[in-house]
Amino acid sequence: MQDLKPSEIVAELDRYIIGQHKAKRSVAIALRNRWRRQQVQDDLRDEISPKNIILIGPTGVGKTEIARRLSLLTDSPFYKVEASKFTEVGYVGRDVESMVRDLVELTVNHVRQGEQEAVQEKAHSIAEERLLDLLLPKAGGSEPAERPTSTEPALEVMTAASEEHSSTREKLRRMLRKGKLDNRYVDLDLPDRSMPMVEIFSNVGMEEMGINFKDMLGSLMPKNLKRRKIKVPEALEILTQEEIQNLIDMDKVVRTAVAKVEQSGIIFLDEIDKIVAKGQSQGPDVSREGVQRDLLPIVEGSTVNTKYGPVRTDHILFIASGAFHAIKPSDLIPELQGRFPIRVELDALGSEEFARILREPRNALVLQYIALLRTEGVELTFTDDAIERIAAMAQEVNERTENIGARRLHTLMECLLEDVLFDAPRQDLTRVEVDAAYVERKLEAIKKDEDLSRFIL
Protein backbone atom coordinates (compact mmCIF):
# COMPACT_ATOMS: atom_id res chain seq x y z
CA MET A 1 0.00 0.00 0.00
CA GLN A 2 2.95 2.35 0.58
CA ASP A 3 3.61 2.31 -3.18
CA LEU A 4 -0.03 2.59 -4.29
CA LYS A 5 -1.39 6.12 -4.50
CA PRO A 6 -5.17 6.52 -4.97
CA SER A 7 -4.70 7.41 -8.65
CA GLU A 8 -2.65 4.23 -9.14
CA ILE A 9 -5.33 2.12 -7.41
CA VAL A 10 -7.91 3.55 -9.83
CA ALA A 11 -5.60 2.86 -12.79
CA GLU A 12 -5.22 -0.75 -11.66
CA LEU A 13 -8.99 -1.17 -11.27
CA ASP A 14 -9.43 0.31 -14.78
CA ARG A 15 -7.60 -2.72 -16.18
CA TYR A 16 -10.48 -4.97 -15.10
CA ILE A 17 -13.56 -2.78 -14.66
CA ILE A 18 -15.04 -0.43 -17.26
CA GLY A 19 -16.36 2.97 -16.14
CA GLN A 20 -17.65 3.66 -12.59
CA HIS A 21 -14.96 6.27 -11.97
CA LYS A 22 -16.69 7.79 -8.90
CA ALA A 23 -16.93 4.40 -7.16
CA LYS A 24 -13.28 3.62 -7.93
CA ARG A 25 -12.17 7.00 -6.52
CA SER A 26 -14.12 6.42 -3.29
CA VAL A 27 -12.76 2.93 -2.63
CA ALA A 28 -9.22 4.04 -3.56
CA ILE A 29 -9.35 6.87 -1.01
CA ALA A 30 -10.79 4.53 1.67
CA LEU A 31 -8.01 2.03 1.01
CA ARG A 32 -5.23 4.62 1.09
CA ASN A 33 -6.63 6.04 4.35
CA ARG A 34 -6.07 2.64 5.97
CA TRP A 35 -2.38 2.85 5.17
CA ARG A 36 -2.27 6.49 6.34
CA ARG A 37 -3.81 5.44 9.66
CA GLN A 38 -0.97 2.96 10.20
CA GLN A 39 1.54 5.84 9.97
CA VAL A 40 -0.25 8.02 12.55
CA GLN A 41 1.10 8.19 16.14
CA ASP A 42 -0.17 5.43 18.41
CA ASP A 43 -2.44 7.53 20.64
CA LEU A 44 -4.45 8.78 17.63
CA ARG A 45 -4.30 5.65 15.47
CA ASP A 46 -7.04 3.75 17.29
CA GLU A 47 -9.32 6.78 17.19
CA ILE A 48 -9.42 6.87 13.37
CA SER A 49 -12.27 4.66 12.19
CA PRO A 50 -12.64 3.37 8.61
CA LYS A 51 -14.99 5.28 6.31
CA ASN A 52 -17.42 2.58 5.24
CA ILE A 53 -19.02 2.81 1.81
CA ILE A 54 -22.44 2.08 0.28
CA LEU A 55 -22.35 1.34 -3.45
CA ILE A 56 -25.74 2.06 -5.03
CA GLY A 57 -26.62 0.65 -8.42
CA PRO A 58 -28.46 -2.11 -10.30
CA THR A 59 -27.05 -5.62 -10.55
CA GLY A 60 -24.23 -6.31 -12.98
CA VAL A 61 -22.60 -2.85 -13.01
CA GLY A 62 -19.41 -3.84 -11.17
CA LYS A 63 -20.11 -3.34 -7.45
CA THR A 64 -18.80 -6.72 -6.31
CA GLU A 65 -15.95 -6.73 -8.82
CA ILE A 66 -14.63 -3.39 -7.52
CA ALA A 67 -14.47 -4.70 -3.95
CA ARG A 68 -12.98 -8.07 -4.98
CA ARG A 69 -10.26 -6.53 -7.16
CA LEU A 70 -9.46 -4.14 -4.33
CA SER A 71 -8.73 -7.00 -1.95
CA LEU A 72 -6.62 -8.85 -4.54
CA LEU A 73 -4.66 -5.67 -5.24
CA THR A 74 -3.61 -5.22 -1.60
CA ASP A 75 -3.69 -8.86 -0.44
CA SER A 76 -6.29 -7.86 2.14
CA PRO A 77 -8.52 -10.46 3.82
CA PHE A 78 -11.82 -10.30 1.91
CA TYR A 79 -15.19 -11.91 2.48
CA LYS A 80 -18.41 -11.38 0.53
CA VAL A 81 -21.74 -12.17 2.11
CA GLU A 82 -25.39 -11.47 1.28
CA ALA A 83 -27.10 -9.49 4.03
CA SER A 84 -30.34 -11.37 3.32
CA LYS A 85 -28.77 -14.56 4.75
CA PHE A 86 -28.96 -13.24 8.29
CA THR A 87 -31.84 -13.28 10.76
CA GLU A 88 -32.36 -11.50 14.03
CA VAL A 89 -30.80 -13.09 17.12
CA GLY A 90 -33.26 -15.50 18.68
CA TYR A 91 -34.46 -16.95 15.38
CA VAL A 92 -33.03 -19.95 13.56
CA GLY A 93 -30.66 -18.67 10.89
CA ARG A 94 -27.20 -17.17 10.50
CA ASP A 95 -25.93 -14.77 13.12
CA VAL A 96 -24.26 -11.59 11.81
CA GLU A 97 -21.13 -12.40 13.83
CA SER A 98 -20.60 -15.47 11.64
CA MET A 99 -19.30 -13.26 8.80
CA VAL A 100 -16.36 -12.19 11.00
CA ARG A 101 -15.68 -15.81 11.93
CA ASP A 102 -15.77 -16.81 8.26
CA LEU A 103 -13.36 -13.98 7.38
CA VAL A 104 -10.95 -15.14 10.08
CA GLU A 105 -11.17 -18.75 8.91
CA LEU A 106 -10.43 -17.75 5.31
CA THR A 107 -7.49 -15.60 6.40
CA VAL A 108 -5.98 -18.34 8.58
CA ASN A 109 -6.15 -20.74 5.63
CA HIS A 110 -4.54 -18.15 3.34
CA VAL A 111 -1.69 -17.41 5.77
CA ARG A 112 -1.18 -21.13 6.40
CA GLN A 113 -0.91 -21.72 2.67
CA GLY A 114 1.77 -19.04 2.42
CA GLU A 115 3.73 -20.65 5.26
CA GLN A 116 3.42 -24.06 3.61
CA GLU A 117 4.92 -22.71 0.40
CA ALA A 118 7.78 -21.17 2.37
CA VAL A 119 8.78 -24.49 4.02
CA GLN A 120 7.97 -26.72 1.02
CA GLU A 121 11.61 -27.19 -0.03
CA LYS A 122 12.85 -27.99 3.47
CA ALA A 123 9.95 -30.39 4.08
CA HIS A 124 10.67 -32.18 0.79
CA SER A 125 14.32 -32.65 1.81
CA ILE A 126 13.36 -34.15 5.20
CA ALA A 127 10.72 -36.37 3.58
CA GLU A 128 13.30 -37.64 1.09
CA GLU A 129 15.56 -38.72 3.98
CA ARG A 130 12.68 -40.52 5.67
CA LEU A 131 11.81 -42.29 2.44
CA LEU A 132 15.43 -43.40 1.97
CA ASP A 133 15.31 -44.82 5.51
CA LEU A 134 12.29 -46.87 4.45
CA LEU A 135 13.99 -48.08 1.30
CA LEU A 136 17.34 -48.83 2.94
CA PRO A 137 17.71 -50.31 6.42
CA LYS A 138 20.19 -48.69 8.81
CA ALA A 139 22.09 -51.93 9.30
CA GLY A 140 23.48 -51.59 5.77
CA GLY A 141 23.69 -54.06 2.91
CA SER A 142 23.77 -53.74 -0.83
CA GLU A 143 20.10 -54.62 -1.37
CA PRO A 144 17.49 -52.01 -0.41
CA ALA A 145 14.74 -53.37 1.81
CA GLU A 146 11.11 -52.33 1.93
CA ARG A 147 10.41 -52.06 5.63
CA PRO A 148 10.16 -49.00 7.89
CA THR A 149 13.05 -48.12 10.17
CA SER A 150 13.66 -45.47 12.79
CA THR A 151 14.29 -41.96 11.51
CA GLU A 152 16.38 -40.99 14.60
CA PRO A 153 20.03 -40.28 13.73
CA ALA A 154 22.36 -42.73 15.49
CA LEU A 155 25.98 -42.12 16.51
CA GLU A 156 28.16 -44.74 14.86
CA VAL A 157 31.79 -45.23 14.00
CA MET A 158 32.45 -44.99 10.26
CA THR A 159 33.61 -48.40 9.14
CA ALA A 160 33.95 -49.93 5.70
CA ALA A 161 30.40 -51.29 6.07
CA SER A 162 28.95 -47.88 6.98
CA GLU A 163 30.83 -46.24 4.12
CA GLU A 164 29.33 -48.82 1.77
CA HIS A 165 25.92 -48.11 3.29
CA SER A 166 26.41 -44.37 2.69
CA SER A 167 27.44 -45.00 -0.90
CA THR A 168 24.36 -47.19 -1.47
CA ARG A 169 22.15 -44.48 0.06
CA GLU A 170 23.50 -41.87 -2.35
CA LYS A 171 22.96 -44.21 -5.32
CA LEU A 172 19.41 -44.77 -4.10
CA ARG A 173 18.91 -40.99 -3.74
CA ARG A 174 19.98 -40.46 -7.36
CA MET A 175 17.65 -43.23 -8.53
CA LEU A 176 14.79 -41.70 -6.51
CA ARG A 177 15.31 -38.24 -8.03
CA LYS A 178 15.50 -39.65 -11.56
CA GLY A 179 12.21 -41.52 -11.08
CA LYS A 180 13.73 -44.99 -11.37
CA LEU A 181 12.02 -46.09 -8.14
CA ASP A 182 8.54 -44.89 -9.07
CA ASN A 183 7.19 -48.44 -9.40
CA ARG A 184 8.59 -49.61 -6.06
CA TYR A 185 6.34 -50.00 -3.01
CA VAL A 186 7.07 -49.09 0.61
CA ASP A 187 5.22 -49.82 3.85
CA LEU A 188 3.97 -46.62 5.46
CA ASP A 189 2.06 -46.10 8.70
CA LEU A 190 -0.83 -43.72 8.01
CA PRO A 191 -3.54 -42.35 10.35
CA ASP A 192 -6.76 -44.33 10.16
CA ARG A 193 -9.41 -41.90 8.88
CA SER A 194 -12.35 -44.14 9.74
CA MET A 195 -12.82 -42.52 13.17
CA PRO A 196 -16.48 -41.43 13.59
CA MET A 197 -16.96 -37.67 13.78
CA VAL A 198 -19.72 -35.84 15.63
CA GLU A 199 -21.42 -32.82 14.07
CA ILE A 200 -23.49 -30.50 16.24
CA PHE A 201 -26.29 -28.50 14.67
CA SER A 202 -26.87 -25.70 17.13
CA ASN A 203 -28.79 -22.44 17.41
CA VAL A 204 -27.77 -18.97 16.26
CA GLY A 205 -24.40 -17.71 17.46
CA MET A 206 -23.06 -21.19 18.19
CA GLU A 207 -21.61 -22.14 14.79
CA GLU A 208 -18.19 -22.75 16.34
CA MET A 209 -19.38 -25.26 18.94
CA GLY A 210 -19.51 -28.19 16.54
CA ILE A 211 -16.00 -27.46 15.26
CA ASN A 212 -14.49 -27.10 18.73
CA PHE A 213 -16.20 -30.28 19.90
CA LYS A 214 -14.62 -32.20 17.03
CA ASP A 215 -11.20 -30.70 17.82
CA MET A 216 -11.55 -31.71 21.46
CA LEU A 217 -12.51 -35.29 20.57
CA GLY A 218 -9.64 -35.50 18.10
CA SER A 219 -7.08 -34.59 20.77
CA LEU A 220 -8.53 -36.99 23.38
CA MET A 221 -8.84 -40.07 21.20
CA PRO A 222 -5.71 -42.09 20.44
CA LYS A 223 -4.52 -41.87 16.85
CA ASN A 224 -4.94 -45.20 15.12
CA LEU A 225 -2.23 -46.00 12.58
CA LYS A 226 -2.79 -48.31 9.67
CA ARG A 227 0.07 -49.80 7.64
CA ARG A 228 -0.37 -49.49 3.90
CA LYS A 229 1.71 -50.49 0.90
CA ILE A 230 2.01 -47.52 -1.43
CA LYS A 231 4.18 -46.47 -4.34
CA VAL A 232 7.27 -44.36 -3.78
CA PRO A 233 6.01 -41.09 -5.40
CA GLU A 234 2.81 -41.15 -3.33
CA ALA A 235 4.80 -41.97 -0.19
CA LEU A 236 7.11 -39.01 -0.84
CA GLU A 237 4.12 -36.71 -1.24
CA ILE A 238 2.50 -37.96 2.01
CA LEU A 239 5.76 -37.62 3.97
CA THR A 240 6.30 -34.12 2.56
CA GLN A 241 2.83 -33.02 3.69
CA GLU A 242 3.50 -34.46 7.15
CA GLU A 243 6.77 -32.55 7.43
CA ILE A 244 5.14 -29.33 6.22
CA GLN A 245 2.62 -29.58 9.07
CA ASN A 246 5.45 -30.25 11.54
CA LEU A 247 7.44 -27.23 10.37
CA ILE A 248 4.58 -24.72 10.49
CA ASP A 249 4.07 -22.73 13.69
CA MET A 250 0.27 -22.57 13.85
CA ASP A 251 0.30 -20.11 16.78
CA LYS A 252 2.24 -17.67 14.62
CA VAL A 253 -0.13 -18.29 11.68
CA VAL A 254 -3.17 -17.51 13.85
CA ARG A 255 -1.57 -14.37 15.31
CA THR A 256 -0.69 -13.09 11.83
CA ALA A 257 -4.15 -13.90 10.44
CA VAL A 258 -6.02 -12.21 13.30
CA ALA A 259 -3.82 -9.10 12.98
CA LYS A 260 -4.47 -8.97 9.22
CA VAL A 261 -8.22 -9.26 9.74
CA GLU A 262 -8.29 -6.57 12.43
CA GLN A 263 -6.11 -4.08 10.55
CA SER A 264 -6.89 -4.67 6.87
CA GLY A 265 -9.97 -6.91 6.61
CA ILE A 266 -12.71 -6.07 4.09
CA ILE A 267 -16.27 -7.37 4.42
CA PHE A 268 -18.51 -6.86 1.39
CA LEU A 269 -22.17 -6.78 2.40
CA ASP A 270 -24.22 -7.40 -0.72
CA GLU A 271 -27.98 -6.84 -0.97
CA ILE A 272 -28.09 -4.54 2.05
CA ASP A 273 -31.30 -3.05 0.65
CA LYS A 274 -33.00 -6.41 1.28
CA ILE A 275 -32.79 -5.87 5.06
CA VAL A 276 -34.71 -2.59 4.90
CA ALA A 277 -38.41 -2.87 5.75
CA LYS A 278 -40.81 -1.49 3.14
CA GLY A 279 -43.42 0.20 5.31
CA GLN A 280 -45.31 -1.65 8.01
CA SER A 281 -45.09 -5.42 7.98
CA GLN A 282 -47.12 -7.89 9.99
CA GLY A 283 -45.51 -10.30 12.42
CA PRO A 284 -41.85 -10.50 13.45
CA ASP A 285 -39.58 -8.96 10.80
CA VAL A 286 -36.66 -11.31 11.44
CA SER A 287 -34.71 -10.49 8.32
CA ARG A 288 -34.98 -6.72 8.22
CA GLU A 289 -34.79 -4.12 10.98
CA GLY A 290 -33.71 -6.70 13.56
CA VAL A 291 -30.77 -7.67 11.36
CA GLN A 292 -29.79 -4.01 11.01
CA ARG A 293 -29.69 -3.65 14.79
CA ASP A 294 -27.60 -6.82 15.12
CA LEU A 295 -25.29 -5.55 12.39
CA LEU A 296 -24.78 -2.17 14.04
CA PRO A 297 -22.34 -3.21 16.83
CA ILE A 298 -20.22 -5.20 14.33
CA VAL A 299 -19.90 -2.17 12.04
CA GLU A 300 -19.39 0.24 14.96
CA GLY A 301 -16.64 -1.92 16.39
CA SER A 302 -16.96 -4.77 18.84
CA THR A 303 -15.19 -7.98 19.86
CA VAL A 304 -16.32 -11.24 18.23
CA ASN A 305 -15.37 -14.57 19.76
CA THR A 306 -13.97 -17.04 17.23
CA LYS A 307 -12.28 -20.45 17.50
CA TYR A 308 -8.97 -18.58 17.16
CA GLY A 309 -9.70 -16.15 19.98
CA PRO A 310 -11.36 -12.72 20.21
CA VAL A 311 -11.26 -10.51 17.11
CA ARG A 312 -11.95 -6.79 17.14
CA THR A 313 -13.96 -5.30 14.26
CA ASP A 314 -13.15 -1.61 14.90
CA HIS A 315 -10.96 -1.23 11.80
CA ILE A 316 -12.53 -3.72 9.40
CA LEU A 317 -13.70 -1.87 6.26
CA PHE A 318 -17.34 -2.57 5.39
CA ILE A 319 -18.43 -2.03 1.80
CA ALA A 320 -22.19 -2.44 1.37
CA SER A 321 -24.05 -2.56 -1.90
CA GLY A 322 -27.60 -2.68 -3.10
CA ALA A 323 -29.84 -1.85 -6.04
CA PHE A 324 -32.08 0.40 -3.86
CA HIS A 325 -34.92 0.25 -6.40
CA ALA A 326 -37.94 0.42 -4.09
CA ILE A 327 -36.20 1.95 -1.06
CA LYS A 328 -33.33 4.38 -0.48
CA PRO A 329 -30.29 4.47 1.86
CA SER A 330 -32.11 6.89 4.17
CA ASP A 331 -34.57 4.05 4.96
CA LEU A 332 -31.82 2.27 6.90
CA ILE A 333 -31.98 2.81 10.66
CA PRO A 334 -30.28 6.16 11.47
CA GLU A 335 -27.47 4.59 13.53
CA LEU A 336 -26.45 2.31 10.65
CA GLN A 337 -26.64 5.16 8.13
CA GLY A 338 -24.13 7.07 10.22
CA ARG A 339 -21.68 4.18 9.98
CA PHE A 340 -21.69 4.33 6.17
CA PRO A 341 -20.70 7.94 5.53
CA ILE A 342 -19.69 7.47 1.88
CA ARG A 343 -22.47 6.87 -0.68
CA VAL A 344 -21.61 6.29 -4.32
CA GLU A 345 -24.12 5.80 -7.10
CA LEU A 346 -22.90 3.59 -9.94
CA ASP A 347 -23.95 4.29 -13.50
CA ALA A 348 -26.17 1.92 -15.46
CA LEU A 349 -24.37 0.32 -18.39
CA GLY A 350 -25.32 0.81 -22.03
CA SER A 351 -24.17 -0.63 -25.35
CA GLU A 352 -21.02 1.52 -25.43
CA GLU A 353 -19.87 0.17 -22.06
CA PHE A 354 -20.82 -3.39 -23.05
CA ALA A 355 -18.63 -3.15 -26.16
CA ARG A 356 -15.71 -1.94 -24.02
CA ILE A 357 -16.31 -4.74 -21.49
CA LEU A 358 -16.10 -7.30 -24.31
CA ARG A 359 -12.82 -5.86 -25.61
CA GLU A 360 -10.75 -3.96 -23.07
CA PRO A 361 -10.30 -5.62 -19.64
CA ARG A 362 -7.46 -8.07 -19.11
CA ASN A 363 -10.06 -10.76 -18.44
CA ALA A 364 -12.40 -9.64 -21.25
CA LEU A 365 -15.09 -12.15 -22.26
CA VAL A 366 -13.89 -12.26 -25.87
CA LEU A 367 -10.35 -13.12 -24.72
CA GLN A 368 -11.69 -15.87 -22.45
CA TYR A 369 -13.53 -17.64 -25.28
CA ILE A 370 -10.58 -17.24 -27.65
CA ALA A 371 -8.30 -18.88 -25.05
CA LEU A 372 -10.81 -21.69 -24.34
CA LEU A 373 -11.18 -22.67 -27.99
CA ARG A 374 -7.46 -22.35 -28.69
CA THR A 375 -6.98 -25.36 -26.38
CA GLU A 376 -8.96 -27.37 -28.96
CA GLY A 377 -6.95 -26.05 -31.90
CA VAL A 378 -9.71 -23.66 -33.01
CA GLU A 379 -8.75 -20.05 -33.82
CA LEU A 380 -11.68 -17.82 -32.86
CA THR A 381 -11.83 -14.19 -34.05
CA PHE A 382 -14.37 -11.41 -33.56
CA THR A 383 -14.87 -8.49 -35.92
CA ASP A 384 -15.59 -5.01 -34.56
CA ASP A 385 -19.11 -4.98 -35.97
CA ALA A 386 -19.84 -8.32 -34.23
CA ILE A 387 -18.84 -6.90 -30.85
CA GLU A 388 -20.95 -3.77 -31.47
CA ARG A 389 -23.95 -5.96 -32.38
CA ILE A 390 -23.59 -8.17 -29.29
CA ALA A 391 -23.38 -5.04 -27.10
CA ALA A 392 -26.46 -3.52 -28.74
CA MET A 393 -28.41 -6.76 -28.29
CA ALA A 394 -27.44 -6.93 -24.61
CA GLN A 395 -28.81 -3.43 -24.08
CA GLU A 396 -32.03 -4.21 -25.97
CA VAL A 397 -32.69 -7.40 -23.97
CA ASN A 398 -31.92 -5.60 -20.69
CA GLU A 399 -34.40 -2.83 -21.55
CA ARG A 400 -37.12 -5.24 -22.62
CA THR A 401 -36.80 -7.76 -19.77
CA GLU A 402 -34.90 -7.37 -16.49
CA ASN A 403 -31.80 -5.16 -16.39
CA ILE A 404 -29.02 -7.46 -15.13
CA GLY A 405 -26.21 -5.30 -16.46
CA ALA A 406 -23.03 -6.84 -17.87
CA ARG A 407 -24.11 -10.34 -16.79
CA ARG A 408 -26.36 -10.36 -19.87
CA LEU A 409 -23.20 -10.59 -22.00
CA HIS A 410 -22.37 -14.00 -20.52
CA THR A 411 -25.75 -15.36 -21.60
CA LEU A 412 -25.48 -13.91 -25.10
CA MET A 413 -21.94 -15.22 -25.63
CA GLU A 414 -22.91 -18.74 -24.52
CA CYS A 415 -25.90 -18.80 -26.93
CA LEU A 416 -23.79 -17.31 -29.71
CA LEU A 417 -20.94 -19.84 -29.44
CA GLU A 418 -22.91 -22.90 -28.33
CA ASP A 419 -22.49 -24.77 -31.64
CA VAL A 420 -18.74 -24.06 -31.85
CA LEU A 421 -18.18 -25.09 -28.23
CA PHE A 422 -20.12 -28.30 -28.85
CA ASP A 423 -18.47 -29.26 -32.17
CA ALA A 424 -14.85 -28.61 -31.13
CA PRO A 425 -12.57 -30.43 -31.53
CA ARG A 426 -13.26 -31.45 -35.12
CA GLN A 427 -10.75 -31.89 -37.91
CA ASP A 428 -12.44 -29.50 -40.32
CA LEU A 429 -13.07 -26.90 -37.57
CA THR A 430 -9.84 -24.90 -37.24
CA ARG A 431 -10.99 -21.30 -37.70
CA VAL A 432 -14.20 -19.46 -36.79
CA GLU A 433 -14.80 -15.79 -37.53
CA VAL A 434 -17.70 -14.13 -35.74
CA ASP A 435 -19.04 -11.12 -37.62
CA ALA A 436 -22.30 -9.15 -37.41
CA ALA A 437 -24.04 -11.52 -39.85
CA TYR A 438 -23.06 -14.52 -37.69
CA VAL A 439 -24.47 -12.78 -34.59
CA GLU A 440 -27.73 -11.96 -36.37
CA ARG A 441 -28.09 -15.50 -37.65
CA LYS A 442 -27.58 -17.07 -34.23
CA LEU A 443 -29.45 -14.65 -31.97
CA GLU A 444 -31.96 -12.61 -33.95
CA ALA A 445 -34.70 -15.28 -33.93
CA ILE A 446 -34.48 -15.67 -30.16
CA LYS A 447 -34.39 -11.90 -29.61
CA LYS A 448 -37.47 -11.27 -31.78
CA ASP A 449 -39.57 -13.85 -29.95
CA GLU A 450 -40.10 -11.96 -26.68
CA ASP A 451 -41.44 -14.97 -24.76
CA LEU A 452 -38.51 -17.12 -25.86
CA SER A 453 -36.09 -14.28 -25.19
CA ARG A 454 -37.23 -14.02 -21.57
CA PHE A 455 -36.38 -17.67 -21.00
CA ILE A 456 -33.15 -17.94 -22.99
CA LEU A 457 -31.50 -14.52 -23.06
319 bridge partner residues: 53, 268
**Domain 351-450 -> CATH class:** mainly alpha
Read off the amino acid at residue 422: F
Nearest to 168 by CA among 136, 197, 146: 136
pLDDT band at 193 (very low <50, low <70, confident <90, very high): low
Q: How far apart are CA 202 and CA 197, in angstroms?
A: 16
Q: How far apart are CA 315 and CA 35, in angstroms?
A: 12
Mean pLDDT of 359-367: 90
Whether residue 253 contacts residue 111, with contact meaning beta carbons closer than 8 Å, is answered with yes
Q: How far apart are CA 250 and CA 47, in angstroms?
A: 31
pLDDT at 195 over 60: no
6-106+257-345 against 351-450: fold identical: no
Summarised one tens digit per residue, pLDDT across range 263-277 is 888 898 988 888 887
Who wins on pLDDT, 244 or 403? 244
**Long-range residue pairs from 291-297, CB within 8 A, at least 24 positions apart, any chain:** 291/83, 291/86, 291/87, 291/88, 291/96, 292/332, 292/333, 292/336, 293/88, 293/333, 294/86, 294/88, 294/89, 294/95, 294/96, 295/83, 295/86, 295/96, 295/269, 295/336, 296/333, 296/335, 296/336, 296/339
* pLDDT at site 146: 43
- CATH 3.40.50.300, domain 6-106+257-345, yes or no: yes
* pLDDT at site 214: 54
Q: How far apart are CA 449 and CA 259, in angstroms?
A: 56
User: Where are the chain's structural domains?
Assistant: 6-106+257-345, 119-253, 351-450
Whether residue 328 contacts residue 54, with contact meaning beta carbons closer than 8 Å, is answered with no
* pLDDT at site 149: 43
Whether residue 35 contacts residue 321, with contact meaning beta carbons closer than 8 Å, is answered with no
Query: Where would I find the H helices in 351-383?
Result: 351-359, 365-374
Q: How far apart are CA 394 and CA 254, in angstroms?
A: 47
Mean pLDDT of 400-405: 84
* pLDDT at site 204: 39
